[in-house]
C-alpha cells in the first residue's frame, strides 16, 4: 500500500513539474530531482539552472518558487537567490496576487500571516489558518471564526 502511495505521489510530482515558469532569458524553469536526492530547477533542455540542494522544490508563482529544506519553507527567485537568505517558515503557500500566506511559530503556536514579494511581512502572523488571495480577499480563521480579509489584513464582507 505504501509503495502504491509513493508511486502515485511521484507520478503527481512529475505531472505537475512540467508546469514551469518562464525566466527572463526565455528558459522555462521546472522543479526536478537531481542525482543527489535533492531538488533544483531545470531549463527546457533539461540542464540544471538552479542546482539541486532542496529537499523539495515547487513551481514558480509570480516570479518566486517555494522550496523546502531542513523542515522549513522559503522562496527563491529565478536566479536561485533565497528571499530571506535561508528557509524560515514552518508552512507556506505560493504567491497569489502579490502576497503569500506563511506560518511561523509564535509562543508555541503556529500562526499565519502574509508576506509580499520582497519578503516584508505585510500582515502579521495572527491567524490559525490562512488561504490564498483571490479577487483581493483571502479567507482566514481565528479562534474558530472564519472570515475574509483584504490585502491590508482588514476584515471584509465575503
Please write the tens of the pLDDT for every residue from 67-84: 999 999 999 999 999 998
Please write the tens of the pLDDT for every residue from 2-59: 333 333 333 333 333 333 444 444 348 999 999 999 999 999 999 999 999 999 999 9
What are the extents of the domains in the chain?
1-83, 89-158
Neighbouring residues of 135: CB distance < 8 A, sequence distance ≥ 6 = none
CATH architecture of 1-83: Beta Barrel (2.40)
pTM, 2 dp? 0.80
Give every strand in the sheet of 145-149, ordered side by side.
129-130, 138-142, 145-149, 155-156
Amino acid at each position: 500500500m505504501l509503495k502504491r502511495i509513493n508511486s502515485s505521489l511521484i507520478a503527481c510530482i512529475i505531472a505537475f513539474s512540467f508546469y514551469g515558469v518562464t525566466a527572463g532569458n526565455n528558459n522555462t524553469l521546472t522543479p526536478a530531482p537531481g542525482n543527489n536526492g535533492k531538488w533544483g530547477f531545470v531549463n527546457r533542455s533539461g540542464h540544471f539552472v538552479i542546482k539541486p540542494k532542496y529537499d523539495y522544490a515547487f513551481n514558480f508563482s509570480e516570479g518566486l518558487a517555494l522550496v523546502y529544506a531542513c523542515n522549513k519553507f522559503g522562496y527563491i527567485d529565478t536566479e536561485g537567490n533565497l528571499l530571506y537568505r535561508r528557509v524560515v517558515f514552518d508552512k507556506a503557500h505560493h504567491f497569489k496576487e502579490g502576497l503569500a500566506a506563511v506560518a511561523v511559530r509564535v509562543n508555541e503556536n503556529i500562526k499565519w500571516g502574509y508576506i509580499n514579494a520582497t519578503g516584508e511581512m505585510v500582515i502579521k502572523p495572527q491567524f490559525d489558518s490562512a488561504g490564498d488571495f483571490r479577487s483581493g480577499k483571502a479567507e482566514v480563521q481565528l479562534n474558530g471564526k472564519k472570515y475574509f480579509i483584504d490585502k491590508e489584513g482588514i476584515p471584509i464582507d465575503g
